[in-house]
Amino acid sequence: MPQWRQGLTKSLHHTRSMPESRYFQLATVDDKGLPFCRTVVYRGLTEDNQLIIISDTRSEKFKQLQDNGHAHVCWYFAKSREQYRFGCKATLVTWDNDSELLAFHWRKLSDAGKKQFLWGEPGTPRNDGSALHVEGSFEKVPPHFCVILLTIETVDYLSLRGNPQYREWHQKDAMGNWISQSVIP
């Protein structure tokens, strides 16, 4: 297990009672090269060091990652005063390429989570500002539900505790092994 992953596991464990520790910021770029950043929900980490999030294929996030699969994650843990910045490459998982994985993550969602995928197309106007209406069944995975796997390629870790602060850089070598280096904060 890479050194950075051991640290992330520890950070997640220490902050497990804090709901905000399950959210991180995901940055992408649009077709003009303009940056977009949004908060997403952490859904897990694969054995292959891929962060798991879910999305809607009709969203800007999906379209931006489809055009340019490079993304950046910034995850701050307030309790431990630690920041992880991940350079990532996104893999978009849709019904066409892994229906089992989609069904697995759909089943894990609460009804409130599923409802968000059944309100209509993200970013479209709400006609009268009234309550959103669910269209579809919680039992069936909607065709626009997707999983995004963010393969971690680099890690920039910063601990803000103490003076001086502590920072590490992690990346893979030519053989695919993770190497770590302490760097000046």
Tens of pLDDT, residue by residue over 98-138, are 999 999 999 999 999 999 999 888 888 877 766 777 888 89
On the question of pLDDT at 32 being above 90, the answer is: yes
64 is in which domain, residue-wise?
3-95+145-183
Residue 140 forms part of a structural domain:
no
How far apart are the C-alpha atoms of 146 and 119, rounded to whole Å?
16
Any domain includes 138: no
For the entire predicted model, the pTM comes to: 0.94
- Per DSSP, the three-state class of 64 is helix
52 domain residue, yes or no: yes
CA 134 to chain centre: 25
Mean pLDDT over residues 35-48, rounded?
Answer: 97
CATH number of 75's domain: 2.30.110.10
pLDDT tens string 45-64: 999 999 999 999 999 999 99
Assigned domain for 134 exists: no
How many helices and strands in the chain, by DSSP H and E?
4, 9
Domain membership of residue 64 (yes or no) is yes
Number of structural domains, the chain?
1
Q: Do the domain assignments include residue 117?
A: no
pLDDT value for 137: 85
Secondary structure element (H or E) that encloses residue 8, with its range? helix 3-14
Q: Does residue 155 lie in a domain region?
A: yes
